[in-house]
Every structure is written in C-alpha cells, then in structure tokens.
Homo-oligomer: A and B are copies of this chain.
C-alpha cells in the first residue's frame, strides 16, 4: 500500500466512523495505520511493539480495545485461524468477509458477497460467518 493510498484509507476510515457517530481517536487511527501498512495478517503483540516507541504507554488492553473498535466498525477483520488481523478497505458494517490467505507470502485477498451455504441445517439462523481459505496465491503457486 502506497503512502498516498494509506492516507486516503485513513481519511475514509475517519469519515466512516463519524457517520456512525463514533470517533477514530489517535490510538485507534495509529493501530489502523499499522494494520494497513502490514503486507499481511498482523499479530496483536506486534502492534503492541510497534506502538511503544513511547516510554510507558501501550499495554495489551490498548491494542485490543483499538482492535475491537476497528472490527466493530468494519475496518479490520480478525483471521481466526491465525489469531491475527487484517485491514479492510471496504469498511462494510455488515456481513463477514471471505478471506483468501496465501500461506507462502502472506498476501490476503478479501471478497464479499455472501457465499450463502446451500446446506445449512433446517431453521438455522446465521448471525456471523467465519470463512477463511488458506493456500497459494497466483504468484506463489508452484509451477
């Protein structure tokens, strides 16, 4: 992600939060920036490290609170199978994302558009779906 598109994404995120009546505070914005800068899924404690050039500040709750906020706002997704987080450029409030994660280079592609399960149990009402595909992206795919 270029510095320019990063700035744009952060501005868009800020606007998105305001629309929701919430504030993208400095800590939250910084965490989002770090997540977006990363080339792949990023761990909470790596964010924590990155956050504390400052002296005392930045303990686990700081980063987990920010991540919770960003996830609720639809700006960040958690990769459940990795305990890691990825940025979302779509800022969709609703609907889980479908993630394609390259195990080799770490690149993450995100798709939306409910891959509605044809085979849900009768009467099951889905509230949240976790869909994560792991494999090789086109670049890393063995010849």
Chain A residues within CB distance 8 Å of chain B: 80-81, 98, 100, 102-103, 109, 111, 113, 115, 117-138, 141
Cross-chain contact B98 with A124 (CB below 8 angstroms): no
B134 to A129, Cβ gap below 8 A? yes
Contacts of A103 in B (CB 8 A): 127
- The docked-state distance in angstroms from the alpha carbon of A126 to that of B136 is 7
Number of copies of chain A assembled together? 2
A130 to B81, CA, bound (A): 8
Q: Give the residue of B111, B118, B120, B121 whose beta carbon is less than 8 angstroms from that of A119.
A: B111
Q: A133 to B117, Cβ gap below 8 A?
A: yes
| A88 smallest CB distance to B (angstroms) | 16
> B132–A130 contact, CB under 8 A?
yes
Residues of chain B contacted by A102 (CB below 8 angstroms): 124
Q: Is the pair A119, B127 in contact by a Cβ cutoff of 8 Å?
A: no
Residue of B nearest to A113 (CB): B119
Closest to A130 in B: B132
Contact of A80 among B81, B113, B135 (CB under 8 A): B81
Q: A80-B130, A81-B80 are in contact. Are A119 and B123 (CB under 8 A)?
A: no
Identify which of B118, B120, B136 contacts A124 (C-beta below 8 A). B136
